[in-house]
Amino acid sequence: MLHGQSILPAIRDMRDLERFLSSELELGVLLEVHMSRLESIFKLLEKHQKKVFVHMDLIQGMKADEFATEYVCQTFKPFGIISTKGNVIVKAKQNNVMTVQRLFLIDSTSLEKSIRHIERSKPDYIEVLPGIVPKYIRRVQERTGIPVFAGGLIETTEEVNEALAAGASVITTSNRKLWTE
């Protein structure tokens, strides 16, 4: 759990943002947002006492690099940054922002390569995608010693419970039906 939550809503559009703002949940994940909307979104988040991890790789109109990361960290002061890129994770950590390195498990080679990247960037958390493979959630957590988020393709309460039982700290999901779990 993170801030008492086992689910982190993944916010993809303004309807998701409105639903998150009206929920009792404090912490979410901001995905797929245009850079021109960041200021107004962060004002809304502050007004509703909400916090988000910003997925740097998915900010439209902004290159996901260390310069953009520093700008977002210093200007908007997000709760955290999510990225697949080690240089983004390192820069966010330098700005005292919580970090989540996202890794996509497509085969054993991608797992090994991702573990090497994680050893260099040393994120606070790792997000494993897809989150429906419990044995790999456990394996990543055991190999790295870093808490794991599970995300991607999680559609049912049973899949949420399986990922949590495998050692995931939280589940990230854009499936609004699961936001109340």
Q: Model confidence at 180, in pLDDT bands (50, 70, 90)?
A: confident
Are 110 and 104 in contact, with CB atoms under 8 Å apart?
yes
The proportion of the chain whose per-residue pLDDT surpasses 90, expressed as a percent, equals: 98
pLDDT at 88 over 70: yes
Region 38-45: what's the mean pLDDT? 98
Task: Locate 162 and state its tokens.
Answer: 């399986």
The proportion of the chain whose per-residue pLDDT surpasses 70, expressed as a percent, equals: 99
Within 10 angstroms of residue 101's Cβ, the number of other Cβ atoms is 26
Within 10 angstroms of residue 132's Cβ, the number of other Cβ atoms is 19
Backbone angles phi, psi at 5, to 5 degrees: -110, 135
pLDDT score recorded for residue 181: 60
pLDDT digits (tens, 9 = 90+) for 99-123: 999 999 999 999 999 999 999 999 9
Report the alpha-carbon distance of residue 115 to residue 160 in Å, rounded.
24
Are 52 and 45 in contact, with CB atoms under 8 Å apart?
yes
Sequence-separated (6 or more) residues with CB below 8 Å from residue 47? none
Region 28-56: what's the mean pLDDT? 98
Report the alpha-carbon distance of residue 38 to residue 75 in Å, rounded.
10
Report the alpha-carbon distance of residue 72 to residue 118 in Å, rounded.
22
Region 30-39: what's the mean pLDDT? 97
Are 136 and 111 in contact, with CB atoms under 8 Å apart?
yes
pLDDT score recorded for residue 76: 98
Q: CA-CA distances (angstroms) from residue 179 to 27, 87, 137?
A: 11, 31, 21
Chain mean pLDDT for the chain: 96
Domain annotation for the chain: domains and CATH numbers: 7-178 (3.20.20.70)
pLDDT digits (tens, 9 = 90+) for 140-175: 999 999 999 999 999 999 999 999 999 999 999 999
pTM of the model: 0.96
pLDDT score recorded for residue 72: 98
